[in-house]
Amino acid sequence: MTSTLLVSLLVLGADPGFAPDQSKLPVPAPKGATVLLDGNGTHQFLSMAGEPINWPVVDGALVSTPKGNRNHIVSKLHFKDADIHVEFQLPEKGSGNSGVYIHGNYEVQILNSFGKEKITKEDAGALYGFAPPLVNACRKPGEWQVLDIRYRAPRRNDAGKITENGTVTVWLNGKKVQDQTEFGEPKSVFHPFRFGNTPYLDQIRDRKLKTMVGPVFLQDHGNPVRFRNVWVLPADDQAMVYEPPVK
Collect the ranges in the chain with pLDDT lower than 50: 1-14
Beta carbons within 10 angstroms of residue 29's beta carbon? 17
Specify which residues 98 forms β-bridges with.
110
Are the CB atoms for 182 and 165 separated by under 8 Å? yes
- Distance, in Å, from the CA atom of 193 to the CA atom of 8, rounded to the nearest integer, reads 39
Backbone angles phi, psi at 73, to 5 degrees: -115, 150
Specify which residues 145 forms β-bridges with.
88
Give all domains of the chain, ordered by start, each with its CATH number. Answer: 36-239 (2.60.120.560)
Burial grade of 68 (CB within 10 A; 0-12, 13-18, 19 or more): exposed
Angle CA 120–98–43, to nearest 5: 145
Q: What is the identity of the amino acid at 129? A: G
Buried b (16+ CB within 10 A) or exposed e, 174-200: eebbbbebebeebebebbbbeebebeb
- Distance, in Å, from the CA atom of 50 to the CA atom of 202, rounded to the nearest integer, reads 11
Beta carbons within 10 angstroms of residue 173's beta carbon? 19
What does the pLDDT read at residue 10? Answer: 37
**Which has the closest alpha carbon to 162: 234, 241, 82, 105?**
105
Digit-coded pLDDT (tens) for 197-213: 899 999 999 999 999 99
What does the pLDDT read at residue 242? Answer: 94
Digit-coded pLDDT (tens) for 151-177: 999 999 998 899 999 999 999 999 999
What does the pLDDT read at residue 8? Answer: 33
What does the pLDDT read at residue 168? Answer: 98
> CA dist 230 to 130, 176, 186, 211, 246, Å?
24, 19, 23, 24, 28
